[in-house]
Structure 1
Amino acid sequence: MRRRVVALLVIFGVVGLVVGVFFTPMLGVDDVEVRGAKELTVEQVRAKAAIKSGSPLVRVDVHGIADRVRELPRVESVEVARSLPGTVRLTIVERSPVAFVKAGDGVHLVDATAKDYATVAMPPIGLPELLLPVEARPAVKSAVGILTQLPEKLRAEVLTLSAQTGADVKLALAGGREVRWGNLNDTPRKAAVLEVLLTREGTVFDVSSPELPTVS
């Protein structure tokens, strides 16, 4: 009889613990910690995460939270983790601009994936300008793909990139020099050829066909 009573008490205790953990605020969310926010505010991230205070921690939908936070244009990635007794930790990585486009509503920032993710009043210092509309996706994608594959030293000399399509990209370099790049294909090879060509006199450097580059 004593063993049965003890067994019943253990069962009731386990059931009570499960109910308390999964269905009551006993281990509920009492804090949402945000890490990695720079341009975004902690309040913006928390609002998008939409985590209800007091929700049982073990039942928090981490995947749903991550999906909601990724809807913020500035967010490149996010990790969501639970931390006992009642904290949900959001670690975000914000997008970094590699170029910008001037438009009627301001300066559009473009990241390494060619995503137009933010509009600001002034262009960031040191970034090249894309002389094409952000709506021209093939041209933007080619221009950004070329830019991000350039060696750092060469990339620092790029002032603007222009194109009508994804196959006629041109680079304006410091010193009034122009580079006719063409399409995104063979970009590393074209960059290596260009570094050699830039040691010669000239203002127009054509590496659109890296087998037959020209200087004029």
Structure 2
Amino acid sequence: MAGSTTAERGARQQESSGPPPARRVRPPRLRTIIILAVALVLFGAGGVWALYGSSWLRVERVSVSGTRVLTPAQVREAADVPVGAPLVSVDTDAIEARLKRELPRIDTVEVGRSWPHGIGLKVTERIPVLMVRKGGNFIEVDRKGVRFATVSDAPKGVPALELALSPSSSAAASLRRFGEGRLVREAVRVAGAVPATVARDTRTLKVRSYDDISLELADGRTVDWGSAEKGGAKARTLLALMKASPDARHFDVGVPTAPASSGS
């Protein structure tokens, strides 16, 4: 009988000896752990020093964008950004609050860091939609009804708001119920709903009560608008009425489903 082959003897030997022992994983030495810990501490300390102690990341310039009436110099002065301070330490919320407090013309402002040396101030100014005459000056009123600035020259293309609150019972009741601020906001709503072609010719928006708001146009024509409700319907009705009665001097769209015009 022939003996076993070399391959068979090798296979039997491998089966008898079993699988090779697993390699033991040595835990990291204490020295290695200490070196890594020191490296992390040094790295962190270096980062803190770079942010707060070095001259690499400090405020060197303040950029301003978005101004229309205000100048960049006015915005920078009111912002009072601490030039030379570490950029990371600048309180952007405080700068935003300071700008809104010092410059009421600013509606919104975004204060952001521009690494490595800048602070950016992106300003959105309030836009007047009405103005209130006060002596020889004019108070500008924005789309939210905020009276934000007093100017000596009337802004072009902005209607004058006249609060003609007579002592009549209806006007007094409106004033007691809504207050002057609410009546101003209702006037702003009307100004926003007036058709563009009519708005360009509107010189005065008169408020007698909550339900009695009227327009006076540049050529002397007048429009009874009523309340600020249903502004879209009233705008469409007014355009149709003016087209149908081009020679009329007075238009009434207080009830848009029953408009009227008169005069010639």
TM-score normalised by the chain length of structure 1: 0.88
Asked which structure has the greater RCO (Cα within 8 Å, sep 6+), the reply is 1
**Letter of the aligned partner of 2:152 in structure 1?**
A
User: 15, 23, 42: which is aligned to 1:12?
Assistant: 42
Q: Shift in Å at residue 99 of structure 1?
A: 2.2
User: 100, 106, 114: which is aligned to 2:131?
Assistant: 100
User: 207, 211, 233: which is aligned to 1:167?
Assistant: 211
Alignment of 1:122-161 (within 5 A): 122-132=153-163, 136-161=180-205
Partner of 1:184: 228
Alignment of 1:1-216 (within 5 A): 1=31, 4-5=34-35, 7-22=37-52, 26-71=56-101, 72-104=103-135, 106-132=137-163, 136-199=180-243, 200=245, 201-216=247-262
Q: Deviations over 1:152-201 (max 9, x none)?
A: 11211212111122321110123321111111000110111111111214
Contact 1:48 1:68 in 2 (8 A): yes
Q: Which runs of 5+ in 2 are unaligned?
A: 1-30, 165-178
Q: Deviations over 1:6-61 (max 9, x none)?
A: 65244213222224314665422222211122322323222322322232212322
**Letter of the aligned partner of 2:147 in structure 1?**
D
Contact 2:82 2:90 in 1 (8 A): no
**Which 4+ runs in 1 deviate beyond 3 A?**
1-7, 22-26
In terms of fraction of residues, the more helix-rich structure is 2
CA distance in 1 between counterparts of 2:228 and 2:119 reads 42
Q: Shift in Å at residue 84 of structure 1?
A: 0.9
CA distance in 2 between counterparts of 1:136 and 1:3 reads 73
Contact 2:221 2:249 in 1 (8 A): yes
Contact 1:73 1:117 in 2 (8 A): yes
| Aligned-CA RMSD value | 2.3
In terms of fraction of residues, the more strand-rich structure is 1
Quick one: percent identity of the two aligned structures?
Answer: 34
**Letter of the aligned partner of 1:30 in structure 2?**
E
Q: Shift in Å at residue 3 of structure 1?
A: 7.2
Which is greater in Rg?
Answer: 2
